[in-house]
Structure 1
Amino acid sequence: MRLVAHDMASRPISGKNSLLNWWMCMVASSSAAKTWQWLQSNPTFTELAQAHPQEWLTVRDELAAVFARRDAAELKALVSKAAQRMEPDAKFLSGERDGRAFELFVHHQIRQRLTEQALRQYAFSAATGVKSGKVRFNLLNGLLAQKLLFEKDLIRKPVSMRAFRLIWPLLWQKRLLMPLVEKRGIWCFYSRELIAGLAQLIGHRRTVEIAAGDGTLSRFLAEQGVDITATDDYSWEKVVKYPESVQRLDAISALSRFQPKVVICSWPPSANHFERQIFRQREVETYIVIGSHSRFITGNWADYEAQTFFAWQEHAELSQLILPPELKAGVWVFQRKVSP
């Protein structure tokens, strides 16, 4: 009886601990699952930092230490690491997403995204000169910018290079432009001369724009007679207002459906996974990238350098026609190599 009594006395305590541990694991796993689902909506840097302040403090301290050492190789390695995205399916079976390992995986992804976006903001600040605080145009600068760059509201127009060279120097608040319009998914402006040059490069070939955003570039090229379809997976709906002319398709689906000869992408996200699919399509003859010279603002440079089917180079004359020049943007053209 004593043995039985001892067991009966001890089991409730053990049972409570087990139940508590199980409950805590369930809460943690549920929280991790919800956080992972939230991450798929591409939260902004501010949203990430506010939702996970402790992780941001850790990332901030790590970045401060790296910048203080001024080691170019270390910074390059950090950029490369921050750009890596893992899917849980690559590491976890569906039945393994209820434990501590998945929770740690999600926290690691939060830190990676905070690091990536902090680095992008650093590079963007270096390009625009805006470090912090709210930014606003005064009345005169706002009127000049509106007249120069937009048809109405925030609908962009092809910018005359002649008009740009005359008006742009008059804006003493020019460094505020990109931080203001970036919030609406505008990463650059296109000159008339750039559109004409791209239209000539494309010719009459079937063209698809991937990650087209609001479809501005496709609209301009179509007005020049280019046979082009704008597509986007709508993953930036919180920032970009997608018109009906932009078909809701991810890059792979767009390439499969339209089988274009030419693909164009303006400001592809850094270290994205969709550009590599372009190099695998036998129908594609030319791929045109408009983006930043900063390798952690736009483009998957690792895939650019790893692919072997296309010869590629920057078209400097077209790069000079992307506005504003402070962005230090470029146009890179990938041309399929001719088989011997």
Structure 2
Amino acid sequence: MRTFTNDTARKILANEISVETLLHQYPEYQQEVLQELSVLKNTRNANLIHAIIDKYSASAKMANHKISRSGFNEKTVNAFLPNVIKARFALHLLEQLNISASSKTSAGNVKFNLWDGMILQKLLFKKGLERKPVSLGLFRLCWRILLNRKILMPLVNKKGIYCFYSKPLINELSSLIGDKKCLEIAAGDGTLTKFLNAKNISCTATDDYSWKHYIDYPAFVEQADAKTALHKYSPEVVLCSWPVPKNPYEKHVFKTNSVDLYIVLGTKDPAVTGDFDSYYSADHFTMEFSERLSSLLLPPSSENAVYLFRRKPVSS
């Protein structure tokens, strides 16, 4: 059984500790709550959802009352505080139901059940379809219990979303880039650049806006084709996530003298991503498939690939 200090108990009861922090500190409650919520896997019954919300709310209220009445007695705190923590996690997840239940394909005939939608909305998105860096541990826990995970990518592809970025992947890319000037080409909605900027990486997102009928381009994504952007910024590092197969723009990366490192996030299949003809003919660069970085792209797939192209040293 977990033991809690009075100071910790007071902060939890006063909601002074975030749900994310609680889950990091007490990960054993994640599995318990997900198992308790598994009744929602095959239902769209709003009354059942409200009943579960009421159950968790009542449990937390009773626990709060008993702990306060006991004067924060050690045995009472240890017995009832877990109910408060689990209730906060469960209610936080259940709040996402109204958004997640409306996820549909363009054909309108496939959508997530409430269970899958709730978990994926919380796991992958900040709000709506705005992606967030994904906790790898939480992803691995949740991914295996989803019922219809195969429909995730078809649902989001039409919005220009082809992968999700784990927190460890963002950290490793940040270490690779360091203090070098970085440019993202064909950036789409600029998600990758935004995550790197949050890590104090100097990266500029650019795109030619050719997918404006699918993607809502934010203001920070500069409208420029790859050749123009490379000439304008003379970057040392270039990024491209899910480049179009046989595209006409990646070849310009290898022709830009300032570029020392080119990082491609995509797949091993030339029919799905990337200009492999340019990859194989880039005589001034080495080409490395990074198994480690590829494993940090989500959802997991044996086809995921992160390639690192490093400029060869000039022979003396």
CA distance in 2, matches of 1:223, 1:288: 19
Q: How far did 1:327 drift?
A: 6.8
Aligned to 2:272: 297
1:139 paired with 2:114, answer yes
1:157 paired with 2:128, answer no
What percentage of aligned pairs have identical amino acids?
A: 46
Q: How does 1:197-216 map to 2 (within 5 A)?
A: 197-216=172-191
CA deviation map 1:26-68 (0-9, x unaligned): xxxxxxxxxxxxxxxxxxxxxxxxxxxxxxxxxxxxxxxxxxx
1:248 paired with 2:223, answer yes
Aligned to 1:87: none
CA distance in 1, matches of 2:110, 2:151: 6
**Which protein is bigger by CA-based radius of gyration?**
1
The answer to whether the 8 A contact 1:211-1:231 is kept is yes
Q: How does 1:1-340 map to 2 (within 5 A)?
A: 134-326=109-301, 328-340=303-315
Secondary structure class of the residue paired with 2:263: strand
Aligned to 1:67: none
Q: How far did 1:307 drift?
A: 1.6
CA distance in 1, matches of 2:288, 2:191: 24
CA distance in 2, matches of 1:249, 1:220: 20
Structure ranking higher on relative contact order (CA contacts 8 Å, 6+ apart): 1
CA distance in 1, matches of 2:287, 2:269: 17
What amino acid sits opposite 1:209 in the alignment? E
Secondary structure class of the residue paired with 1:211: coil
What amino acid sits opposite 1:274 in the alignment? Y
CA distance in 1, matches of 2:164, 2:193: 13
Q: How far did 1:305 drift?
A: 0.4
Structure 1 residue runs of 4+, over 4 Å off?
Answer: none
Aligned to 1:41: none
CA distance in 2, matches of 1:229, 1:248: 11
Q: How far did 1:133 drift?
A: 9.1
Q: How many aligned residue pairs are there? A: 210
Secondary structure class of the residue paired with 1:229: strand
The answer to whether the 8 A contact 1:267-1:299 is kept is yes
Q: Which has the higher helix share?
A: 1
Q: How far did 1:134 drift?
A: 3.9
Q: How far did 1:324 drift?
A: 0.1
The answer to whether the 8 A contact 1:276-1:303 is kept is yes
Q: How far did 1:287 drift?
A: 0.4
Structure 2 gaps, min length 5 = 1-104
CA distance in 2, matches of 1:186, 1:327: 19
CA distance in 1, matches of 2:302, 2:132: 18
What amino acid sits opposite 1:324 in the alignment? P
* Structure 1 length-normalised TM: 0.60
CA distance in 2, matches of 1:290, 1:325: 13
CA distance in 2, matches of 1:327, 1:154: 25
What amino acid sits opposite 2:314 in the alignment? S
The answer to whether the 8 A contact 1:279-1:307 is kept is yes
CA distance in 2, matches of 1:296, 1:134: 28
CA deviation map 1:266-307 (0-9, x unaligned): 000000011001101111000000001111010000110012
